[in-house]
Amino acid sequence: MRNPFRLSYGVSDTRDVYWLRLEGDEGWGEAAIPPYYGVDTPAMIAVWQRAAHNLQPFPDEPQAVAAWVGGDGPAPARCALELALYDRIARRQGVPLWQLLHLPQPQKIATSFTIAIDTPEAMAEMASGIASFPIIKVKLGSEDDEARLAAIRSARPDVKLRVDANAGWTLEQARDLVDRLCRYDLEMIEQPLPKEQIEAMGALQKKCPVPVTADESVQTLQDVERLAAAGVQAINVKLMKVGGITPALHIFRRAQELGLRVMLGQMIETSIGATAMAHFTGLAEWVDLDSPMLVSNDPFEGILYDAHAVIQMPARVGIGVRGLESD
């Protein structure tokens, strides 16, 4: 990573990712594993070993992908398989992923740029260094949260601010902080409480003037139902969390039916995962797909960004990524 990345869970300067490539370079997949998710790596490898010994041919239609992958094993492992299979099908049909899935054409939309927890001065300096970027996501969930936010707002009075506590507050802390933090003109507050505390997040939403956006709490379709019933206004959908494209499509559809607002997100991923998710921008109100800008050794090229952090989709079929060394 370009800089140490500190969240409420802890700090890291590297992240492990796994890439899958189908035979003949016909499809690329990725699994990204944040250290705080506790994903069992041998369990992920077991999913891929089972897939490698699957005697059934690769599916040729998107409707057959989920059955081929199956529902067992960690979500990132299933996600990597799905990405590779969907990429293969779209490449073979000569269309970009969004067309294969009959999605709206991707928007030209600006992503937020994430500033991890640091001293207020360092965070303000980073905010000033991206003066042309219109949206900043501020990581909180430690002491002096208000001082950090105040420093960034002072440095960038023009910018849209989103804050993300990564489940780092108690309900009492969140109730105390919401009124004070919202004075800095926020767009949303993301995952203020531990992921299991869905009803508490709904109670917080009733007192919060901006959307409470669930992230870690969104892993299954049942989670989406519970969040909507609790009164939470928005969700952050990530392919790695939910297990790939097929479950994400079900979640997008149900969120629309329930009136939930949607943000596209990602883990710390390379251009494979980020570009795959960018095909869904026509379904979302907000986008947080800045990971390729945070990674120092991305071996792939996919989405690019203009000077204002607006996502530029690649003019290639499939997911749209290419290996910088192999191509």
268, amino acid identity: I
Determine the pLDDT at residue 8.
57
* Average pLDDT value for residue range 224-241: 98
Instruction: Note if 238 is an active site residue.
Output: yes
Instruction: Note whether 136 and 250 are same-domain residues.
Output: yes
- Is there a domain that residue 102 lies in? no
Quote the CA–CA distance of 31 and 24 in Å, as a whole number.
20
Per-residue pLDDT band for 326 (boundaries 50, 70, 90) equals low
**Percent of the residues in the chain that have a pLDDT greater than 70, as a whole number:** 94
pLDDT, one tens digit per residue, over 124-183 is 999 999 999 999 999 999 889 999 999 999 999 999 999 999 999 999 999 999 999 999
Same domain, 211 and 308: yes
Residues 160 and 21 in one domain: no
Q: Which of 108, 137, 139, 160 is catalytic?
A: 139
* Binding site feature residues: 164, 190, 215
Domain closes at, from 69, 95, 121:
95
Q: Looking at residue 112, what is its pLDDT?
A: 98
Clarify whether residues 147 and 255 are in a common domain.
yes
Which tens digits make up the pLDDT trace of 287-304?
999 999 999 999 999 999
Mean pLDDT of 47-66: 96
Any idea which residue has 């290419």 for tokens?
Answer: 322
Please tell me the predicted confidence (pLDDT) of residue 234: 99
In 3D, which of 99, 150, 152, 86 has the Cα closest to residue 124? 152
Residue ranges of the annotated binding site for Mg(2+) are 164, 190, 215
Classify residue 106: in a domain, yes or no: no
Residue 303 domain flag: yes
Check pLDDT > 80 for residue 4.
Answer: no
**Is residue 68 located within the same domain as residue 123?**
no
Q: Does residue 187 share a domain with residue 309? A: yes
The last residue of a domain, from among 60, 95, 130? 95
What pLDDT, on the 0 to 100 scale, is given for residue 274? 98
- For 210, which DSSP code? S
CA dist., res. 196 & res. 193, Å (int): 8
Last residue in a domain, options 28, 60, 95:
95
Give the bridge partners for 20, in sequence order. 29
296 CB-near residues (< 8 Å, 6+ apart): 1, 2
* CATH label of the domain that carries residue 56: 3.30.390.10
> What is the span of the domain harbouring residue 36?
11-95
Residue 143 and residue 284 share a domain: yes
Q: Residue 195 pLDDT > 70, yes or no?
A: yes
Residue 59 has pLDDT above 70, yes or no: yes
pLDDT at 168: 93
The rounded mean pLDDT for the chain is 94
Mean pLDDT of 45-62: 95
Q: What is the model's pLDDT at position 271? A: 98
Note whether residue 103 is domain-resident: no
Tell me which amino acid residue 299 is. Answer: P
Mean pLDDT of 30-39: 82
pLDDT of amino acid 2: 63
36 domain-assigned: yes
pLDDT band at 48; cut points 50, 70, 90: very high
CA 285, 17, 242, 66 torsion: positive or negative? positive
* CATH, residue 245: 3.20.20.120
- pLDDT by residue (tens digit) across 264-274? 999 999 999 99
Q: What is the mean pLDDT of residues 251-278?
A: 98
What's the whole-number mean pLDDT along residues 83-94?
A: 98
* The predicted structure's pLDDT at residue 79: 98
Based on the domain organization, do 123 and 38 belong to the same domain? no
Residues 71 and 168 in one domain: no
Contacts of 163 (CB under 8 A, 6+ apart): 137, 138, 139, 140, 149, 181, 186, 188, 189, 190
Domains identified in the chain, total number: 2
Residues 76 and 128 in one domain: no
**Domain-embedded: residue 6:** no
- Report if residue 184 sits inside a domain: yes
Residue 101 belongs to a domain: no
Looking at the structure, do residues 189 and 79 belong to the same domain, yes or no?
Answer: no
Active site residue 137: no
Indicate if 90 and 122 belong to the same structural domain: no
Q: Which two tokens stand for residue 285?
A: 């109100």
